[in-house]
Structure 1
Amino acid sequence: MAHIKLPEGLPGIRGAMAFRPETARPLNDLVEVLLHAPNSLTPGDRELIATYVSSENDCYYCQTIHGAIAAASLNGDEALVKQVKHDFHNAAISEKLKALLVIAGKVQRGGKHVTTEDVAAARAQGATDIEIHDTVLIAAAFCMFNRYVDGLATIQPRDEAMYRERGKWIAREGYVNVSKEYLPAETAH
């Protein structure tokens, strides 16, 4: 049971966002830019970063929904998503993404853990400054999102099919468009 009365039938962050739409809009705008908008990193790569950080933070809802969005963005490759969560060093992903996940993991533990050597290693694999920036911001933002979801003890169903279907929808439509489902018209875009 959630720590506060959240709208019924909206699990995870959706319930919290529907409870306080004034804060939901900027959060949805941020996640849209970071994970869905055009970028040199694919949406699948960016969702893998969000999934990995959420997994490290042990946030069931976020790691499951973003894992489903990542899989939907990666031709349904759920096995790859699981591999990245548990051992990305041996996953079938680019060396650049592995270097960015090192940075994301260090941000998850605390921003000061990121070293000049970590950034140099990412650059050596072809990471641009914007990709490094966005990796750090995705990791930092997902620490906040994970704590938001878990700090309110939101409802986090264990129905994998629900996450899979919603993941496909978000991968296709984006965060801002999907948020119209639970935010008032004047708050959603």
Structure 2
Amino acid sequence: MPHINVDKNLPGIRALMAFSPETAAALSVFTNLLLRTDEGLTMAERELIATHVSNLNNCFYCEHSHGAIAACYLDGNADLVEQVTQNYAEAAISEKLKALLSIAGSVQKGGKFVTTKQVDAAKSLGATDKDIHDTVLIAAAFCMYNRYVDGLAADTPTDLSSYSLRAQQIAEKGYGTHIFTTKQPVANNKEA
């Protein structure tokens, strides 16, 4: 049960955004800047970083929300997303992304856990300064988002099928107020 009085019909961060539209507007702009660009990292890679950090933080809602969005960008390849959350070192992803996920994992522990050795390894595999910057910022942001969702005990659906429907909306429209003002889509293009 949420720690504050929020709309019980909205799961996860959606209820928190509806509770504070002013905060939601700023967070939406920020999240779009972080995750909705293919400059350097692809949108799929960005969502995989968010998913990885959310998994490390044990934030079920964010892990499955962003994992489903990553799967949308990966042409429905939810198996790859699962590989990344279970053991990214063995996942069928680039060595560069593996090095960046290592950096993201260090950020999740605390910023000072990132080492020069990790950064040099990522650069040797083709990561640019922008890739490293964005990885650290995405990881730090998702530590905040995860703590926002779990710190206020937001309702978290356990029915995994609901995540893919909302993910498709976000993949198409991005992050914004539609996340908490538009009803949850259901199968056959109907909305609930």
Answer yes or no: same fold by TM over 0.5. Answer: yes
Superposition deviation, residue 26 in structure 1: 1.1
Structure 2 counterpart of 1:187: none
SS of aligned partner of 1:7: coil
- Whether 1:59 and 2:30 are equivalent positions in the alignment is no
1:5-62 CA deviation, whole Å, 9 max, x = no partner?
A: 0013110001001101111111111110111134221111100000000000000000
Give the Cα separation in 1 of the matches to 2:58 and 2:9: 22
1:103-146 CA deviation, whole Å, 9 max, x = no partner?
A: 00000001100011111001001111111000000000000000
Give the Cα separation in 2 of the matches to 1:179 and 1:10: 9
Between stretches 52-61 and 161-170, larger displacement belongs to: 161-170
- Whether 1:20 and 2:20 are equivalent positions in the alignment is yes
Q: Say how many residue pairs are matched.
A: 182
Dislocated runs of 4+, deviation >6 Å: none
Structure 1 residues 141-180: aligned runs within 5 Å = 141-176=141-176, 178-179=178-179
Structure 2 counterpart of 1:122: 122
- 8 Å CA contact 1:103, 1:135 repeated in 2: yes
Between stretches 25-34 and 52-61, larger displacement belongs to: 25-34
SS of aligned partner of 1:87: helix
Superposition deviation, residue 180 in structure 1: 6.7
Structure 1 residues 2-13: aligned runs within 5 Å = 2-13=2-13
Structure 1 counterpart of 2:82: 82
Structure 1 counterpart of 2:187: none
Give the Cα separation in 2 of the matches to 1:176 and 1:22: 12
Give the Cα separation in 1 of the matches to 2:21 and 2:167: 22
What is the identity, as a one-letter code, of the residue corresponding to 2:19?
A: F
Q: CA RMSD in A?
A: 1.2
1:50-91 CA deviation, whole Å, 9 max, x = no partner?
A: 000000000000000000000011010111101100100000
Indicate how the Cα distance of structure 1 residues 99 and 74 shifts in structure 2: closer, same or farther if over 3 A, else same: same
Q: TM-score, with normalisation over the residues of structure 2? A: 0.92
Structure 1 residues 102-121: aligned runs within 5 Å = 102-121=102-121
Indicate how the Cα distance of structure 1 residues 177 and 13 shifts in structure 2: closer, same or farther if over 3 A, else same: closer
- 8 Å CA contact 2:18, 2:180 repeated in 1: no
Superposition deviation, residue 152 in structure 1: 0.4
What is the identity, as a one-letter code, of the residue corresponding to 1:99?
A: A
Give the Cα separation in 2 of the matches to 1:26 and 1:67: 23
SS of aligned partner of 1:175: coil
What is the identity, as a one-letter code, of the residue corresponding to 2:139?
A: A
Give the Cα separation in 2 of the matches to 1:27 and 1:96: 28
Give the Cα separation in 2 of the matches to 1:60 and 1:52: 11
- 8 Å CA contact 1:28, 1:179 repeated in 2: no
Give the Cα separation in 1 of the matches to 2:2 and 2:180: 23
Gapped regions of structure 1 (runs ≥ 5): 183-189
1:123-176 CA deviation, whole Å, 9 max, x = no partner?
A: 001111111000000000000000000000000011111101111111121112
Indicate how the Cα distance of structure 1 residues 93 and 172 shifts in structure 2: closer, same or farther if over 3 A, else same: same
Structure 2 counterpart of 1:186: none
